Structure 1
């Protein structure tokens, strides 16, 4: 049995097209007008434009050309095909979209909304199993030789150097706001990729495990799993009930447990995404 995506290929390219449009709006209309450098090749392009008036789209293309040539030679064309499309789409959007100063001089709004818009765009590109090239690919190439470091670590270092360059040229104040924007981008991107349908995971330690489990399964119509555990202090073996419910249902779980066993020990944690019956369905192609 082979696992594959049921999503048509054109949907991926649509995601890349729309996602790069969002990114270009953030760059052209928020970051560039107030010289906020948030890392990446677009950050370098903002710095270059400040000294030479070379447009962002042209710098982005010129920086990516050698990166893609190296990528095609090391990894093969199939590895860079989607990323090549998304990089080209971003450069085209940077060229055709007008430059407007949406946030004027309000740096905190620029950092937050720029991060949200850019994060949505990057998340859509990642959902299409692509990137926009730039420092992502540079980090991947360097990791080929610096195997003791992860791609994420190398990427963070490269982007940090770009932000520091922006701080040197445009001032520390803008760089600090850029860090806020980078944080917002990462949070929004993670939400897009990992899903926004948060659930709750509950571990219930009780001496009335059968009653609690039955109540959860019959009253709430939710599944429950018994995990074998041993108390390290008492050396007694017991079952820990594990169940996953929606955010609204966790209140009912705690009420059920409290009614049956007020002395029960309950651990509740956040779950980013749940696949399976009763939650997000997934399919296999046979």
Structure 2
């Protein structure tokens, strides 16, 4: 696998933070959807300062100001190298929030707002994660708290911190919008996971048959897929067996099952999902 150039990562960060800023400025903010993080706090602050300052405190300013002390503390505790690309991603997100105009999109439909906001933001977050960065905020806060509370994971701490932000959002904007925000959070999680793990899912098949050679030859010749023989032992019969392991695409799994049944009607086949497959014939990853 070829090593990916650093500039590609920075382009991914720019694209990802741009999408996140679009979701925040044109969907989350106009609809009062607080999905956690420092941007969620920024939306709350903008709403609460609307009577004191025309339009309230800008989102980009709150996000930047909240992140500055967190990054300084992170640099002191974990070192400058720990910050790395996350600092660039945080600045990029604040810059996008400043550049992208704030306007209302899907203001009358909170269902569409939470779904499409989650999709756009989730894709953006996934791109940032692919570049081995985060956008700071509660991610960095959780990492710092975990430094002092090592018996908790960063994910657990993040859930608590973001939940507190959502609860404050529920107080400011109402419980109904908070529930829609939870939908958006779920969609963001699913989309970012899909970007990170890859959307091209495959199927893995475990085949136990008395005709290993025939089944293997048929699969290799008709599907052009390799197999691996795994030594196994039948606990009931006590007989030594050779279990065949093969990974194919979703379209090929039907043909694989037909080949196995045709070659050995008594074969035992287990088919499971393979969320991410790297290597020849599947996904080539550049690190």
* Class of the TM-score when normalised by the shorter of the 2 chains: over 0.9
Q: What is the Cα deviation at residue 282 of structure 1?
A: 5.1
Alignment of 1:148 onto 2:145: no
Match of 1:255 in 2: 258
Match of 2:53 in 1: none
Task: Please give the residue correspondences for 1:257-272 in structure 2 after superposition, counting only pairs within 5 Å.
Answer: 257-272=260-275
Q: Which runs of 5+ in 1 are unaligned?
A: none
Distance in 2 (CA, whole Å) between partners of 1:242 and 1:274 is 14
Q: What is the Cα deviation at residue 217 of structure 1?
A: 1.4
Large movers: runs of 4+ above 4 Å: none
Alignment of 1:109 onto 2:112: yes
Task: Please give the residue correspondences for 1:17-32 in structure 2 after superposition, counting only pairs within 5 Å.
Answer: 17-32=14-29
Q: After superposition, what is the alpha-carbon deviation per residue over 1:179-225, rounded to whole angstroms, capped at 9, x for unaligned? A: 11111111111111111221110011222222111211122221011
Match of 1:159 in 2: 162
Count, aligned residues: 281
Q: Which runs of 5+ in 2 are unaligned?
A: 50-55
Alignment of 1:36 onto 2:22: no
Q: Normalized against structure 1, the TM-score is what?
A: 0.94
Matched-pair contact (CA < 8 Å) for 2:4–2:286: no
Q: What is the Cα deviation at residue 33 of structure 1?
A: 0.4
Match of 1:205 in 2: 208
Distance 1:192 1:282, change over 3 A: closer
Alignment of 1:186 onto 2:189: yes
Match of 2:180 in 1: 177
Distance in 2 (CA, whole Å) between partners of 1:283 and 1:13 is 14
Q: CA RMSD in A?
A: 1.5
Distance in 1 (CA, whole Å) between partners of 2:268 and 2:180 is 43
State the secondary structure of the residue aligned to 1:38.
coil
Q: What is the Cα deviation at residue 281 of structure 1?
A: 3.2
Q: What is the Cα deviation at residue 271 of structure 1?
A: 1.1
Distance in 2 (CA, whole Å) between partners of 1:37 and 1:281 is 37
Q: Normalized against structure 2, the TM-score is what?
A: 0.94
Alignment of 1:138 onto 2:141: yes
Alignment of 1:219 onto 2:222: yes
Distance in 1 (CA, whole Å) between partners of 2:167 and 2:234 is 51
Distance 1:283 1:183, change over 3 A: closer
Distance 1:186 1:215, change over 3 A: same
Q: What is the Cα deviation at residue 173 of structure 1?
A: 1.1
